Structure 1
Amino acid sequence: MSSSSTSAAPPRIAVFGSVNMDLVAYVGSAPGRGETVTGTRFRQVPGGKGANQAVAAARAGADVAFLGAVGDDAFGTQLRTNLVDCGIEVSGLRTVGGASGVAHIVVEGDGANSIIVVPGANGEVTGLREGDETLIRGSAALLLQLELPIEGVAAAARAGRAAGVPTVLTPAPARELPADLLDNVDLLVPNQHEAAAITGETDPRSALAALLRTVPEAIVTLGEDGALHGARGTDPVHVPARRVAAVDTTAAGDTFCGAFAAARAGGRSPEQALRFAAAAAAISVQRHGAAPSMPERAEIEELLAAG
């Protein structure tokens, strides 16, 4: 992923992705099959991998445009309002008939989570509509995930490539990636489990090497072990995670990806951007929720300055 030159104006990032209402239950440990447990807390917060990355990038200092869909229900109104309140442009956010997407999230006492996503309106985004290519073309980076129909994601990636906009794909939820999508991806950002599923390699360095035979640049995120970055023709770079007491890991990966994209588009080197993103993720896991946990740029810079 190439970066723009550093300037006073914030970098422009387009995010083509999902937006959900997260329905979050907190428990000591998740129930097994056929088991009922009593939770300790419930929250309803905006989420979705696309919206999460958009909020993370905006708070990390980017000027963000969001492309996706909400339903014509109460959740849709709330989700649109939340993006606007986060300073995100929503001219590319369409409203379709029916329910908005929702995610049912169980957060355990150690911060680990399990998630069931019901796509709702997200499932209607099977391609681009008028105006979407203009938003993509005017951006320094395009962020994609796999919570929208794959044909829609592939169409956005083609638009990014045609416009010369670096395209970043988070391949989650994990699935087989068609060649017509990968051919238009500049940077792939799986976690270690997704990287193993894509490549068949359980060792992260071996998985990274396999990914680089398909895309020019990749990052494998390793949870508490940090992240591994590689690009063709360069040696891999490992950046360790910061040691913190996690209370909720929901959207930590999206926080990392959004912050990394904002930092790279803003002119930082890959290693500088990795450290910036790792600091953002470290802050986020110490707070509850998805978007509410994401730090502002000043908080990230303060943590970096503290060493």
Structure 2
Amino acid sequence: MRKIGFLGAMNRDVVVEQPTADLLPLLGAEATPLVETPVSDAVAQRGSALLEGRGAATWLGGSAFNVARVVALLNRDRAFDLAFFGIAGSVAGTQPHLATLVEWAVDTGSVAVSPLPPATCLAMVEPSGRTLLTALGANAGIAAWLTANRDQLAKAIAGRDLVHVTSFLDPEAPGLIAGILATARSFNPSLMVSLDPGMAWIAPGGQGLSPLLRQTNILHLNAEEFALLGGSESVPGLLDRLTPGAKIVARTHAGATVFSASGAESLPERAPAQDFLAVDPNGAGDTFCGGFLSAYAENPDEPLRAAGLGFALARKKVGIKGPLTASEADIVMSRLENW
């Protein structure tokens, strides 16, 4: 599989290492700690200024964008043909996400440009986890864009071997994307769909999620999401909700397990090393998915090997501030045998 696509949000991530309980009253936001909560653009703008004044770092992010970053980092020989599908917001008349995708040699022919700012994610990180406050920004128009460009998107996605889909906050998005994927698959029956729905889509469930699951070949879940869906005991029923022959990749802080109709394979669990410090978990799950997809696209017969690369990269990312860099990825690759 050489042609990989990414469909999802492009955000601006503002990350600060401070207790959520101290910051929420200052932000004027009602939110539950350690989960993702939608907020208004006004709260996001005010929050960005507040958190940056408290030492926050700002990064280009968004789940699909983060995954594309990792795949691009590993695509040194340009073996993969990469493409992105989504809406790029504007900052002072420029589109930083769009420009960065071009730098990564990712095709942007199916990226729309909005005059609105990118969606903003305020991330408050503490030892127990992270709290996310997310404003729609340019992604407020995602449902209209998906509807207006349904046929063009379906044809473009059909030209991919594999497409990785991540969540938008708009509740209409999963159902609309499911329809686009179904049409794309009618053009290209061998299309592989990788889905990382996140808590934003799993917690509400509903009519939109079920048809999206039916289009899914690889379902990525973190520990909390996997538990919410019933854990290991629910795997047979969950596999029945996916496309035939699908796999579930459930990741934890200590390892990962790949479930399929033929059984389960797990990486050896790894307790954090004594010298390992979790500095910034923001984007670790996306880093896992990027590593997994890079290896899986090369060799789909070895999904556990792909999970091993994803876990190694995610573990490295957690130990540094900000997104994984090329040099950090090189360190991981140099330590893995037979890559």
**TM-score between both structures, scaled by the size of structure 1:** 0.83
Deviation at 1:40, TM superposition (A): 5.7
**TM-score between both structures, scaled by the size of structure 2:** 0.76
Q: Residue 41 of structure 1: which of 46, 55, 59 is its match?
A: 55
SS at match of 2:58: strand
Paired positions, count: 289
CA–CA distance in structure 2, aligned partners of residues 285 and 271 of structure 1: 21
CA–CA distance in structure 1, aligned partners of residues 159 and 265 of structure 2: 30
Residue in 2 aligned with 1:227?
Answer: 256
Instruction: Work out whether 1:278 is the aligned partner of 2:311.
Output: yes
Instruction: Work out whether 1:217 is the aligned partner of 2:247.
Output: yes
Q: Contact 2:13/2:121 (CA < 8 Å) preserved in 1?
A: yes
Percent identity between the two aligned chains: 22
Stretches of structure 2 lacking an aligned partner (at least 5 in a row): 28-49
CA–CA distance in structure 2, aligned partners of residues 143 and 159 of structure 1: 16
Residue in 2 aligned with 1:151?
Answer: 175
CA–CA distance in structure 2, aligned partners of residues 264 and 295 of structure 1: 22
Q: Contact 1:67/1:92 (CA < 8 Å) preserved in 2?
A: yes
SS at match of 2:85: strand
Instruction: Work out whether 1:169 is the aligned partner of 2:201.
Output: no
Residue in 2 aligned with 1:7?
Answer: none
Larger helix share, 1 or 2? 2
Indicate how the Cα distance of structure 1 residues 35 and 16 shifts in structure 2: closer, same or farther if over 3 A, else same.
Answer: closer
Deviation at 1:300, TM superposition (A): 3.4
SS at match of 2:67: helix
Corresponding letter in the other structure for 2:266: H
Instruction: Work out whether 1:250 is the aligned partner of 2:295.
Output: no
Alignment deviations for residues 245-281 of structure 1 (CA, whole Å, 9 cap, x no partner): 2211111111111211121111251111111111111
Q: Contact 1:111/1:248 (CA < 8 Å) preserved in 2?
A: no
Residue in 1 aligned with 2:69?
Answer: 55
CA–CA distance in structure 2, aligned partners of residues 35 and 296 of structure 1: 36
| Higher RCO structure (Cα 8 Å, ≥6 apart) | 1
Q: Contact 2:155/2:184 (CA < 8 Å) preserved in 1?
A: no
CA–CA distance in structure 1, aligned partners of residues 233 and 21 of structure 2: 35
SS at match of 2:299: coil
Instruction: Work out whether 1:118 is the aligned partner of 2:135.
Output: yes
Q: What does 1:296-307 correspond to in 2, within 5 Å?
A: 298-305=330-337
Residue in 1 aligned with 2:157?
Answer: 136
Stretches of structure 1 lacking an aligned partner (at least 5 in a row): 5-10
Deviation at 1:210, TM superposition (A): 3.6
SS at match of 1:125: helix
Deviation at 1:95, TM superposition (A): 1.0
